[in-house]
Structure 1
Amino acid sequence: MKAVPRTRSLPALLLAALTLVLATLYAPPASAETSVSTIAQALRKSPVYVDPAARDQLPANTAEALAARIKRADKPLFIAVLPTGYPTANLFTDLRAATGITGLYGIRLGDRFDARADSSVMSPTARQNLVRSVQGEDARTQLADFTDRALLNMGGHAPKSWGGTGDAVSGTALITTAAVLVIAGAGAYTLVRRNRRRREEEQRAALDRLRVVVDEDITAFGEELDRLDFQPAAPGADDAMRADYEHALDAYDTAKQRMAMAERPEDVRGVTEALENGRFSLARLAARREGRPLPERRPPCFFDPRHGPSVSDATWTPRGGAPRQVPVCAADATRLADGRDPVIREVDTDYGRRPYWDAGPAYGPWAGGYFGGGLLPGLLVGTMLGGLMATPTYAADYGAGYGDFGDQAGYGGGYEGGDMSGTNFDPGDFGGGFGDGGGFDGGGGGDFGGGNF
């Protein structure tokens, strides 16, 4: 016997119809996403914005804690959490134009994440590496890791607008303000002292990290002197050879003395300058003893200054950067010509061993002593160290002990991170394709990739 289909009762049908009507009436339309202007207005007041439709990704208390951490660090870091499907066309560029504030902008959109920054705040290479390092994490972990790493490697200061307390001024607020003015002097003095202590602590930490690397350099040069088979009184030694030898010994002693007296990271430049001079003196001594023409004064090998003076220039392309000519020693020139990797000087960082040009701002004075004057800009452009050294904040934190990088590179002016620049910014910093920095197209980004976001 064939089963008879069960029919719904009239009340059930009416209830279903009523539910459908209410859902249609009260569901937000597809075009009701939060506007870029609204997001920008919120970011001018606080560093973290969470869209109402994305609150399940980052709870309010977590967002508040993240915002407080950024404010305490006094850095222009902006984070927006948006729902899946939010329009991505020109999102970073439009948001940067709407806020008008120089900084680093990270956006979590659904389960995807990317970031853009003004180059005065963070270099493209540093930003790409940073984004790549947090891909695949859940929202809370990802945004916390991104924030922690960004604050360590970015320049600039927090915008003044984050210090606002509200829109309206009440009588109570005026009384409170008057009371605050009474203790303003003491408060300002306390703040200055705290900031000074923090800066001194950061400089000490940077110097301690540098000291390990510089001590390795000094030791390596001392070992070269120990291996040197030269006796000033030996037959065949002339005054020129003895002078070169004495210069090398003096450079070794000078380097040790300057390092012992170093109190700030920028003091390290004098140490590496002395080591560079000493190694050139040894190169001259070797040429004299072997009857070769004296070498021209060239910078040390870019990949590791311990290799000694360079003998030629070679084309080298850093990961994610543009090709450039760098000075290389004979051994590295041969390796590059054979298609092999050069022997690169790596140093310890919080993320393991890294090339010195991707190891953080403290290595600027160290590199400046080896590659002084106008040479550094062309060598380091596009690297983490190069991007950081080009910012005014870097000069404030680490001095100008890096070979006058900012002036020679033409970065002396412009807006520091956190300053109001309005729409006066380089759109190239906020556009371009994806993938270099672990962008949104990781597995075929679809309409989420391309050059729009």
Structure 2
Amino acid sequence: MTSQLRRGFAAHGRGARRGILAAVAAAVIALLFGFAAPAQADDVSQIANGLSGSRLYVTTGARSAVPDADQAAIRQALDRNEDADVRAVVVQSGVTKERIGPMLKSVAQRVDKGKTYVAITADGKMMAISKDLSGKELNQLIAQTAGGDIKTRLIRFADLAEAEADQQARSGMIGAFVTLGVLIFAVAGVTGALLVAGKRRRERQARQMAELKRGVEEDVTLLGEDIARLDLNVMDPGLDPAAREHYEKAMNSYDRAKAATERAARPEDMQAVTEALEDGRYHMTATRAVLAGEPVPERRAPCFFNPQHGPSVKDVTWAPPGGVARSVPACAEDARRVLNGEIPDMRMVPYGDGRRPYWDAGPAYAPYASGYYASYGGLDLLSGMMIGTMLGSMMSGGFGHHVGDVGAGDMGGFGGDTGDIGGGWDFGGGDFGGGGDFGGGF
């Protein structure tokens, strides 16, 4: 009997120890994995998407601070104050203004609606940005809401902003009536000046288009004459099939260029013409190579100095008078001239009462040049070759260039791409202090 009791107590002890060890293991696992993987913070895209369909967004880290009933009351207040169009974000405690400022501005740019954006932390600190209210006015509104909980402060802020918006609307209406009389007298003079300026602009554009069309027609005619001189009989069964194929493609390109020239009504329409011309000139070069029993040449960008020369054969270093040296593609003859210190054969186009190199003949020739190099890097190639020329300076000033969005960056806990941040927003630091630039490159 005694031995059985001893065996029972021993078994009970082992079971208790196993239970304690299991509990300790579970606690360790909870510590390791629970604290190692905190909840992912809401990123800018999530906040922007939320505010696109609602005027209130409560981030994951702040949901415990705003009960569902409070959220419903806040949304109702924000929705009824339509003139102020306030959109609010509730974030977790401890978020700094250096993080909230850029987040608010980025979210506002993404949502692309709403006039005032306000952020409040779970521990009650508030700041705002607005297109209609100045930083000083925002700080005054925030100060008037001090002392309340999140629901009370946001509702009060929305009501005050609505009253301010109504006041501004009334003041703007009075000012509009005052200035209306002045504007009526000014409109006649301004309208007359605009009509004169518009007429001159149209005349200038028509003159530039006529010059451009003459220049393009010269290129088209030259390709047609080149095709006619070769005068291949594509129906001849003895003709090399490769020569026939290139020759037919050259003729088709010529037809496309001629038709596009006839349809062209704006400088931009000329890009289609020169794209077809570049294609036709290459196929004429390939046709002659096949007929001569030579390898079909590599397809390279047209000769920079004169695209009428057809495909280039090599790149040479060249600088315009007084300009910076750069690498440009050149045909065999122009490459020889440049390497020997001679002047290459420039493509001179109609300009005013004379002629100029196409890269110095004004913005109307930008699509013309772009078409020739569309298959070889387009404006990226041209902008490098034309540094210091009229077209080059225009391209560096924005022609054809696309400025990408500001790259992704650390939003200090909000995550996501910050988007393209524009101007027009005034900051109110509110409980964080004065407004202003919040750094971080924004």
How high is the TM-score relative to the length of structure 2? 0.46
| More helix per residue | 2
Higher relative contact order (CA 8 A, sep 6+): 1
Pick the structure with greater CA Rg.
2
TM-score w.r.t. structure 1 length?
0.45
